[in-house]
Amino acid sequence: MKRVLIVISTYKSQSDELAKDISAFLAKRGYSSDVFPYDDKKQVFDLKDSYSFAVSLGGDGTVLFTARFCAPRSIPVFPVNLGQFGFIANISPEDWQSEIEKFLSGIYDSHNRMLLDASVIRNGENMCRFEALNDVVVSGSGIAKLVNTEIHYNSVSFGVYKSDGVIISTPTGSTAYSAASGGPILDPNLSAFVLTPISAFSLSNRPVVLPASGELRVKVLPYRQKNIVLSVDGQELVKLQEGDEVVVSESKNMVTLIGCTPVAFYNALRSKLGWAGSFTVDRGCKDA
């Protein structure tokens, strides 16, 4: 029997009932379902590797969690928005049935999104590795957050950043923490990174857009701040030490988001980021 993974946010009261409805709907069409509760804490999937597709029931955080599991297994993700914002999860709970019907019939919209591959190198040894759909962040924690980091892109030195941290985001993540820190918004079709300093001590440290074909290296330099962490999609945390390097490149994996298209992306910018305005022409223009 074909299988479907349903990841539900435990913080959304309607997710349990909706998961039951979706499971019953899919069972009539020859699919069995595995339901996995996600509670925004560090969790490990104890599930099968083979699913026809996955359904994410929650907000964008639930999509990020689901995407990191599904991307290396080439499992498409169907993101249903039960959150308040839902920039990535853009399918409304009222539309799930019609959208799944389209998917099962082979008539549906989808979009592949790039992921980041991030490793922590300590004394020449690879300590850990992650993938991220939104971003990876090297930052200080606590009250005094200022950290020193040395940035390289391939063999080019960007110098030393004295800041509260640095964000490396994908085009998908460019609308999240990076945008809140002054970074630009990228079209999801682009293959690029955004390097965004957080509250940089120097005004010359500005956000930079870089080709994802290269490699970014963020080295933690000695400074008064000792509580430095790597955050992956805001969900995985690793404590860093002086001398550690965070190496970021484009992952070989991508995640397929069902119902997400470039058009839907720009519609979300208008509706969820409050973009507004109109184009007018002054036909009575005269010389001053």
- The residue from 21, 39, 49, 60 that is catalytic is 60
CA distance 248 to 130: 10
* Residues near 91 by beta carbon (within 8 Å), at least 6 away in sequence: 78, 79, 80, 81, 99, 258, 259
Task: Give the residues across from 152 on adjacent strands.
Answer: 157, 217
| 164 is known as an active-site residue | no
DSSP 138-153: EEE-SS---EEEEEEE
Task: Give the residues across from 239 on adjacent strands.
Answer: 229
Q: Do 271 and 86 touch, CB atoms closer than 8 A? A: no
C-alpha closest to that of 9 among 114, 81, 100 = 81
Cα separation of the two ends of the chain: 76
Half-sphere exposure of 67 (CA within 13 A, CB side): 33
Write the CA distances from 134 to 27, 36, 79, 114, 255, integer angstroms. 33, 22, 15, 9, 12
CA distance 197 to 150: 12
CA distance 70 to 242: 33
Return the active site residues.
60
